[in-house]
């Protein structure tokens, strides 16, 4: 128990380091990319080249991804500050967001599945 806790700590530190590296590179190179996504791509490259072995980050990654949704709760609470806009045109915005998300998801989901099937009949 104590050991796996320590594992989570130092593995998280490694993830954090790559996250900061991503942010730094994006800033230095003026890339149109958020630092966390850049960090994800860097970590993928490290894994693909074998510089980082999956077991170096396995425990912490498993834990963080299992609770990935948690991080969006404090962020979503921020919606509170748009109360007046919501009262004014909240329904219209809700319809727009829902309809556009639905169409986008259907287009991606169906086209990917279709192209997949065509490849492996």
Partner 1 sequence: MNNLPLFALFVVLTLGAYLATRWLFLAYRHPLLNPVFLSTVALIAFLQATGLTLEEYRPAKDVMTYLLGPATVALALPLYHNRRVLKSHALPVLSGVIAGSLTTMAAALLAGRVMGLDGGVLLSLGPKSVTVPIAVEISRLTGGEASLTAAFVVATGMIGSIMGPSLLSLCRVKSPVARGLALGTVSHGQGTAVALLESETAGAMGGVAMAIAAVFTALVAPYYLPLFLR
Chain positions 58 to 77 lying near partner 1, rule: CB under 8 A, are 58, 60-61, 64-77
Chain positions 2 to 31 lying near partner 1, rule: CB under 8 A, are 12, 15-16, 18-20, 22-23
> Shortest Cβ distance from residue 101 to partner 1 (Å)?
4
CB 64 within 8 A of CB 43: no
Query: Which one among 5, 30, 48, 121 touches partner 1, defined by CB under 8 A?
Result: 48
If DSSP codes are grouped into helix, strand and coil, which group holds residue 99?
A: helix
Chain positions 28 to 47 lying near partner 1, rule: CB under 8 A, are 32-37, 39-44, 46-47
Question: Could you say whether residue 115 binds partner 1 (CB under 8 A)?
Answer: yes
**Burial track 68-91 (b if 16+ CB lie within 10 A, e otherwise):** eeeeeeeeeeeeeeeeeeeeeeee
52: region left, alpha or beta (phi > 0 left; psi from -120 to 50 alpha)? beta
> Shortest Cβ distance from residue 95 to partner 1 (Å)?
7
């Amino acid at each position: 128990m104590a050991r796996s806790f320590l594992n989570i700590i130092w593995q998280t530190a490694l993830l954090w380091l790559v996250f900061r590296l991503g942010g730094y590179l994006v800033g230095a190179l003026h890339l149109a990319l958020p630092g966390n996504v850049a960090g994800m791509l860097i970590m993928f490259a490290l894994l693909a080249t074998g510089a980082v072995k999956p077991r170096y980050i396995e425990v912490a990654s498993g834990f963080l991804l299992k609770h990935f949704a948690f991080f969006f709760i404090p962020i979503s609470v921020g919606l509170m500050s748009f109360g007046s806009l919501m009262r004014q045109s909240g329904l219209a915005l809700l319809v727009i967001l829902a309809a556009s998300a639905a169409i986008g998801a259907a287009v991606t989901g169906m086209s990917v599945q279709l192209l997949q099937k065509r490849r492996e009949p």
